[in-house]
Amino acid sequence: MRLQAALLPDGKRLHLQHGPIDLIIGADGDRAAAFAAAEGRFATILEELVTELPLLRAEMDKHSPCPVESVAKRMDRAMRPFCGGSFVTRMAAVAGSVADEVLEAMQNGAELRRAYVNNGGDIALHLTPGTRFTLAMAGHDGRDLGRIEIRASDPVRGIATSGRHGRSLSLGIADSVTVLAGSAAEADAAATLIVNAVDLPDHPAVTRRPACHIVDDSDLGDRPAVTHCDTLDDRHVDLALSKGLARAQEFLDRRLIFGAALFLQSDCRATQTRNFSIIHRNKAHA
């Protein structure tokens, strides 16, 4: 499990991979210095996370002790505002926190006009005046779901996507939820919890298994993770999305996020359209 680093064929992006962490990094400015800083910081991140893994996987509340290592501290800070209502562990923010950490190292090590660190769809952004970042949203089946555009004048510096088709287990049935926030860690945390809210408990179309039966060391323990969801009628799709949208609106009202787009089968919802250009619509919303 050695760290791998390589420039992609365009020469403008760096690929870093170590164990389960897989980053695509772009930078405009002093690219060589930025990539060197990114690789240098990335070299020890996995080892640092492993040293505190039991704490990071444990259910947390407002009285939980704070981790020691830098990325773990980011995970803790991102999750603290969400304690108290739902089951949470710091692992809900791990991908975004890694992206934020590597981006900060790049900012400290190089003069940059624009930069991003993409950790499997959880993206940390650096934008200077006059720059912007655009991203296509795609469904798990490759369908075009729309576009995201972030301008330097926007407060958004983190984008994260979560869902039952993603890398992590999900307690909800959303195909995907994309969240915009002030950091990738904050977006990652919120996306996970919004996905969990898009749910139809006890619906016969939804298949679940204890998370620990799917992944031995899952931080979800024996909680029922969604493994399959058959086609739902429009009424139940609307009901599930409405629950998720209510959770997203709560986070928006608390200023924990700046926007969210939620997708389930033939439908979608969004809290705002300034940064989202939604293409994917069902017949009822065409």
Contact (CB, 8 A) for 107 and 140? no
pLDDT band at 169 (very low <50, low <70, confident <90, very high): confident
pLDDT band at 285 (very low <50, low <70, confident <90, very high): very low
The CA-based angle 251-257-261, given to 5 degrees, is 90
CA distances from 147 to 60, 107, 138 (A): 34, 26, 9
Selection from 153, 167, 221 nearest residue 195 by Cα: 167
Residue type, position 175, single letter: D
pLDDT band at 155 (very low <50, low <70, confident <90, very high): very high
Paired tokens of 158 = 């983190």
- Residue 104 pLDDT exceeds 70: yes
DSSP string, 223-270: SEEEEEE----HHHHHHHHHHHHHHHHHHHHTTS-SEEEEEETTEEEE
Mean pLDDT of 28-56: 96
DSSP, collapsed to helix, strand or coil, labels residue 83 as coil
CA distances from 252 to 2, 14, 103 (A): 40, 33, 25
pLDDT band at 280 (very low <50, low <70, confident <90, very high): low
Who contacts 274 (Cβ-Cβ below 8 Å, separation ≥6)?
154, 259
- Residue 284 pLDDT exceeds 70: no
Selection from 133, 134, 128 nearest residue 111 by Cα: 128
Mean pLDDT of 213-218: 84
Provide the CATH number for the domain formed by 4-281 in this structure: 3.10.520.10
Average model confidence (pLDDT) for the chain? 92
Paired tokens of 101 = 């950490």
- Residue 283 pLDDT exceeds 50: no
State the Cα–Cα distance between residues 75 and 214, nearest whole angstrom: 24
pLDDT band at 286 (very low <50, low <70, confident <90, very high): very low
Selection from 92, 96, 43 nearest residue 71 by Cα: 96
- Residue 212 pLDDT exceeds 90: no
- Residue 273 pLDDT exceeds 80: no
